[in-house]
Structure 1
């Protein structure tokens, strides 16, 4: 079944045009806000017991955010570290970067089970970004041990909509979208291209290291009968980037990254999905069958092309236990059966397979109490079988502006192909690595401010990682670096604060703060996980809403990294504060003039030892929507 990709893609290509033939304008429908990726079925925000953050398209536009990595910076519990323009890692609650699963429209973003590099991923045509914190393996299996990031693209609203955006400044970017949605079907097309000239990541005053990216996304759905809905999506992206040479014989940070204009890399991405939903018993029983495929290719001046692929077949059954349709049920039971395979050219004779069963109960009880409980068993062909669980509670106090939320659960991370089978100039894999296991729990309270002016949420969390995989120089017999499991437990504890306030009719404020204490079993600090990270944002609306100005401040302190030279010591990086400024003005009801300044005060800082960060850049653009 998994090898019939060419036939499936041909079917998808034939299906999408047919979806466009059934378009009829429909009146807008207002739906309750949902966290689309929070379980086996959508979960209302107010009833979700786990910690989460959402970055909306409106917030992206107001803050002038051009990349997904910048949209994630300073979010509660999220650490973002970039080593130049070409490589960015995301860590949630102190977990390693490959402990966070990145999805695009619910499909794994990276093929082959390795971590996804978000460096060049743009925010063009994104509807929202959902960040789920804490173990999510019950719903997503391996690599969702610390959390999940789901990037949801713009599918358009009812009827016909289209638009585009162009921007210049240290390069240029352009994007466009068109969609048509009616009562019986819909189709949407998203296009984007960017040429970011970048900056000299060596900090030596050499040539800029830029990054280019082109992407196309096509998706659609068709209501074949009153009970049967079909859907499909395709996405392709091609990325090229420059990078500099790393000198492992360096003696300080300034000499570690050496400017080299001959080094170049490329990434190619493909994600595709076909799905069908069928309702029975007046909507009380629903079925969903989905096939997903992700292929990622990487190549660079210093390495040959590598290819990774992940294929997943999922079946979900949902049943309203109280006799109501699934979307209205107060007591809901979900069952998931999943089969996943992945492979990589790093190990051409090796393929990983896993069959999984998951069960979820969802209860929307009286007096504002909501319950979510899940259990999953992974039958793993290559590693030990694993059973994960989670439990989440949300309680809106009756007649009180407070909501309590708490969750607990476990997660698993299988070693990546690179950790197992790498064999290059600097590193060699360890095929005897064990999976990493994570358990965590959190407790929080959300306070709604009077007159709907905003909210404040404070969450305390604690997570413990077993068999942590680490990279150690000189570990291999031939002197190269390799990977090993640490004995003991790696504890992580912290506090996350998120606040939003409408201070006046035309003034909106936001605050995000994270305190994190992440240690190894030996008690040493984990690298690239700041102890303190603060984000402040203020938006001022002007001219009766026709114009706006937003200022963003980010402060980072207590960030450590390993010096990959000399004695490989771990040292603290300098604290830093950056300020960004963005604004827009509606020239007409459909056309908006935009501008932004990144790193307004041209602060010099580093998120990774030896790598410079971008200085001040100025951008201007036009955006059109119909």
Structure 2
């Protein structure tokens, strides 16, 4: 999955350094993991487990939403109560233990996890998935991993523009325009999808649709030699329908009730302004940035809950034996102040001051090391120290060994700390003595090339232990509160990823995850399938103008709580889903696209009681100049 990027692309990606943007010519780089630490890193040097999905690959495979894209990644479990409430779990961790970023900025405001609904892959440059604890670089909620969604920015010199249109069970449009000159670049993107949806209850009732609209702006400019300024701004609005749940249901079919009166709207804004200064001939880079996330959500016309996060960061990188862009040994220091709040309660405000450091070194040919540490001082529950280390070693044969270990943390939520509510005679009270949850982890793997380099296979074993897991318990007959559990939640498994260029026309790929995840009492963790397998093939013809693609996903050993009948945790039926897509280049700049989801119209579910979407077809056009 080699990625060719211009240095200009790196310049205006929020999480990466704009140093290289001042180059005038096109430079071919190795694949870069933008989110791999405090600064970007070559994938070949990276010791931790990561997957990169490029926008081009997602387009070829007919993947239109981020949640569907994440189903293709080993080590990732995606489950939803309908399409409007999708959660992501990495290596068996809780969904709140995965931090989702958009251009390096937290997607959810306050302490909430980011729920994926109608987030489009249109105008996305790439999605990076980092597995294992990343709190040493990203703080709380990165305990199990990080997903960084990097949007399309200006690349190459001059003016570029294009767009897409698609119809079938609704419609979608997107467009972009970018320009890059000698001193900087600017980009503007737009995407809107009106998805007719489907009936989550499975009773043939009203379709539960989603409408989402997103604008995004990004720019960077070289103010003086060595001094560059940039900014990004994203605004999204979404409205979706959902169904009710019956707490007196006796069966899965009765649990979700078709309800045309239920709807929600949400508004998201993320913004960043940064200033970067290069000195000592490129050996030192100072970067100052301000980030803000506003996330508002309301239900059925009631005033929305407004949450926000503000982050001020200073980062200094120093190349010990050369420029930051090319040094074999580099150290980076980061200082951060984060404040978040919610309109739900004035107590739901907190502040964290953090300091983090990272060292990266390349030693004997093929040996690379990364080490990071972070200390967080939170005004609600004290101090947390987290760390991360990774090593990669490439043998002369091309076989690459990689391993990592680390410790991550997750702060107690506002509600777990300060709850004081009563519903239907049941009272929920917070516990201000809660400690952060902590996840310690290690993994070890090997990446093996075969067939004269036309294929690779990567196998990784991982082992993670969650301590002080927070859960709700009954304090008395009518009161629930929250405690840190005694004992460990253990998770281990194997991740496999393989690609093979079988011929010049046929490309094959596979991903598999085995996961064993248990609670402290030995019971199975919910919504974490034991087996997940994806197989895919892409075939090109007519001198590359015609592309056909197919993907199969098999899920087995998934358990979920039945909130009906006996209220037991039961195994969901195993399932297999097949998606296909095609595209034909009418000209060098215009393509006709088509895709069919759930080709064989199979019934399946990741959550008890919620129906799946049946066979759905789309046809569209895309263009780029």
TM class by shorter chain equals over 0.9
Residue 568 of structure 1: how far off its partner (Å)? 2.2
Residue 26 of structure 1: how far off its partner (Å)? 4.7
Q: Show the 5 A alignment for 1:190-205.
A: 190-205=189-204
| Equivalent in the alignment of 2:328 | 330
1:206-241 Cα deviation digits (max 9, x unpaired): 110010000000001001122101110000000000
1:415-456 Cα deviation digits (max 9, x unpaired): 222443454747835233321110000000001224331211
| Equivalent in the alignment of 2:208 | 209
SS of equivalent residue, structure 1 residue 606: coil
* Change over 3 Å in CA distance of 1:429–1:139 after alignment to 2: farther
Task: Work out whether residues 421 and 428 of structure 1, in 8 Å CA contact, stay in contact via their aligned partners in 2.
Answer: no
Task: Work out whether residues 308 and 341 of structure 2, in 8 Å CA contact, stay in contact via their aligned partners in 1.
Answer: yes
| Equivalent in the alignment of 2:8 | none
Residue 367 of structure 1: how far off its partner (Å)? 2.2
SS of equivalent residue, structure 1 residue 71: helix
SS of equivalent residue, structure 1 residue 452: coil
Q: Show the 5 A alignment for 1:212-611.
A: 212-301=211-300, 304-322=303-321, 324-397=322-395, 399-422=396-419, 423=421, 425=423, 428=428, 430-432=430-432, 433-471=434-472, 475=474, 477=476, 479=478, 483-611=482-610
Return the alpha-carbon distance in structure 1 between the equivalents of residues 589 and 482 of structure 2: 54
SS of equivalent residue, structure 1 residue 46: helix
Task: Work out whether residues 341 and 352 of structure 1, in 8 Å CA contact, stay in contact via their aligned partners in 2.
Answer: yes
| Equivalent in the alignment of 1:49 | 47
Return the alpha-carbon distance in structure 2 between the equivalents of residues 166 and 429 of structure 1: 49
Residue 482 of structure 1: how far off its partner (Å)? 5.4
SS of equivalent residue, structure 2 residue 543: helix
Return the alpha-carbon distance in structure 2 between the equivalents of residues 276 and 187 of structure 1: 16
| Further displaced range: 136-145 or 364-373 | 364-373
* 1:94 maps to 2:92: yes
SS of equivalent residue, structure 1 residue 385: strand
SS of equivalent residue, structure 1 residue 544: coil
Return the alpha-carbon distance in structure 2 between the equivalents of residues 495 and 380 of structure 1: 35
Return the alpha-carbon distance in structure 1 between the equivalents of residues 499 and 517 of structure 2: 27
Task: Work out whether residues 429 and 479 of structure 2, in 8 Å CA contact, stay in contact via their aligned partners in 1.
Answer: no
Return the alpha-carbon distance in structure 1 between the equivalents of residues 611 and 302 of structure 2: 24
Task: Work out whether residues 74 and 513 of structure 1, in 8 Å CA contact, stay in contact via their aligned partners in 2.
Answer: no
Residue of 125, 128, 131 corresponding to 1:133: 131
SS of equivalent residue, structure 2 residue 553: strand
Task: Work out whether residues 25 and 182 of structure 1, in 8 Å CA contact, stay in contact via their aligned partners in 2.
Answer: no
Residue 25 of structure 1: how far off its partner (Å)? 11
| Equivalent in the alignment of 2:83 | 85
* Change over 3 Å in CA distance of 1:24–1:78 after alignment to 2: closer
Return the alpha-carbon distance in structure 1 between the equivalents of residues 418 and 140 of structure 2: 18
RMSD: 1.6
In structure 2, stretches of 5+ residues that fail to align are 1-20
Q: How many residues align?
A: 600
| TM-score for the superposition, normalised by structure 2 | 0.94
| Further displaced range: 153-162 or 281-290 | 153-162
Task: Work out whether residues 589 and 623 of structure 2, in 8 Å CA contact, stay in contact via their aligned partners in 1.
Answer: yes
Return the alpha-carbon distance in structure 1 between the equivalents of residues 472 and 170 of structure 2: 36
SS of equivalent residue, structure 2 residue 57: helix
1:505-538 Cα deviation digits (max 9, x unpaired): 0001110100000000000000000000001110
SS of equivalent residue, structure 1 residue 254: helix
| TM-score for the superposition, normalised by structure 1 | 0.93
